[in-house]
Amino acid sequence: MARCQQRSRNRTKRGAALARHARKEHVRERNACHRATTEIIRQHGLIAVEKLRTKDMTRSAKGTAAEPGSQVKAKAGLNREVLAQNWSLLRSQLRETCYSEIGIARTVSIGSKNWPIWCPGSSKHPADLMRTLPMSCF
């Protein structure tokens, strides 16, 4: 696109081709996420999902003019990778697939400060949930 002349037909065609490619990639990602969530739901009775605040996690590190941030490029790369994981898409598709597969919600969203309490390896897990349903933490 950078080498095409502005407002030319070739530039328009190249932009459309790039948009088609981006759309296909988006559909592939959603399809893979949907297949993964369906498999998780079929294998486990209760799914515990950590409430990750990606908005806070991906906050900029540039700082202010008075106090500039350090390692801004490293933080930008980390933010890019965190957003590429599509954690919110996975959580929402888990919730939707639970409703469509069996009609009830089997997902539990847990805040990060309470996360170790609910994991199967912890001694503080709720005994009633662990006794009745197989559980998956991720």
- Structure confidence by residue, pLDDT tens digits, 56-95: 888 888 887 788 888 888 988 988 888 888 888 888 888 8
Beta partners for residue 108, in sequence order: 48
Name the one residue in this structure whose structure tokens are 């294998």: 43
Q: Does any domain span residue 95?
A: yes
Q: Does any domain span residue 67?
A: no
Q: Which range of residues forms the domain containing residue 118?
A: 9-59+73-137
Beta partners for residue 87, in sequence order: none
pLDDT of residue 22: 96
For strands 135-137 and 46-50, give the pairing: parallel
Q: What is the pTM assigned to this prediction?
A: 0.64
Q: Does any domain span residue 65?
A: no
Q: Does any domain span residue 4?
A: no
Structurally, the chain folds into a number of domains equal to: 1
Average pLDDT across the chain, whole number: 79
In whole angstroms, give the CA distance from residue 83 to residue 26.
13
Mean pLDDT, residues 14-36 taken together: 94
Q: Does any domain span residue 83?
A: yes
Other CB atoms within a 10 A radius of the CB of residue 56 amount to: 7
